Amino acid sequence: MKIPKIRILQGDGPVNVNAALDDVTVTGFGETEVLLSQVDSKTYDFYTRVRVPKIRIEGTYDLKGKILLIPLVGRGRCWFEPKNMTIDIVSDVKLYEKDDFVFFNVTSAHVKYTIGGLTLRMNNLFDGINSLEDSTNAYLNANWRPVSESLRPILSKTIEDILLGFLQQLFHNLPGNFMIGDIKYNPSKKVDKKV
């Protein structure tokens, strides 16, 4: 999956980052295992828990800030590989009618996740001073837990964008009553009419 741009600005403390990822490619969601899927019987919002063995996020980064008190400045190619992720997804849904069918309009997706590991590589840190770049990448990988916490906004936003796009494409083309036979259609409650 391609994402044109992800921006993150995170404030004070051990993490202070102003970063952007451009031309992002994300792979690995094809191995997703659904652990739980529930639908709220009143709002039709979805709650889903999935496990993903490994995701790879590649792109061009532009970074200025600090992670674990290490000042980081650079622009170049990067990749991040979170492993053994369990992701809880809450999808906000509205109903709408089209061609006498009721469809789900997924308006947002919110995620919380746990992670079992993280490896990463940022090229061209510190204007390409290789020894400093290599030692910084090694340090960040050795301390993956606090690094993963600092990257949580980037990973959360990436996962939410991917899931929202996927869910919208799926549910705009598949009538809701094909999946849930007893949808209670009430045009005055949480329903949009699409032409």
* Minimum mean pLDDT range among 12-21, 38-47, 104-113, 156-165: 12-21
From CA 20, how far away is CA 62, in angstroms rounded? 5
Burial 17-44 (b: 16+ CB within 10 A, else e): bebbbeebebebeeeeeeeeeebeeeeb
Provide the mean pLDDT of the chain. Answer: 86
In the predicted model, what is the mean pLDDT of residues 25-48? 92
In the predicted model, what is the mean pLDDT of residues 5-32? 79
The percent of residues above 90 in pLDDT, for the chain, comes to: 45
Q: pTM (2 decimals)? A: 0.77
Place of tokens 């980052």: 17
- Note the pLDDT tens digit of each residue in 146-158: 888 877 877 788 7
- Sign of the CA dihedral running 157, 159, 161, 167: negative
According to DSSP, the residues that pair with 24 across neighbouring strands are: 3
From CA 23, how far away is CA 168, in angstroms rounded? 21
Question: What pLDDT, on a 0 to 100 scale, did the predictor assign at position 49?
Answer: 97
Strands 70-98 and 191-193: parallel
Please state the three-class secondary structure of the chain as a single string: CEEEEEEEEECCCCEEEEEEEEEEEEECHHHCEEEEEEECCCCCCEEEEEEEEECEEEEEEEEEEEECCEEEEEEEEEEEEEEEEEEEEEEEEEEEEECCEEEEEEEEEEEEEECCEEEEEECCEHHHCHHHHHHHHHHHHHCHHHHHHHHHHHHHHHHHHHHHHHHHHHHCCCCHHHCCCCCCCCCCCCEEECC
Model confidence at 9, pLDDT cuts 50, 70, 90, reads low
Q: Just give the CATH number of 2-180+189-193.
A: 3.15.10.30
Both tokens of residue 166?
């996927």
Model confidence at 135, pLDDT cuts 50, 70, 90, reads very high
Question: What pLDDT, on a 0 to 100 scale, did the predictor assign at position 14?
Answer: 60
- Note the pLDDT tens digit of each residue in 60-119: 999 888 877 778 889 999 999 999 999 999 999 999 998 888 899 999 999 999 999 999
- Note the pLDDT tens digit of each residue in 170-195: 898 998 888 887 777 666 554 454 54
Question: What pLDDT, on a 0 to 100 scale, did the predictor assign at position 185?
Answer: 65
From CA 6, how far away is CA 162, in angstroms rounded? 12
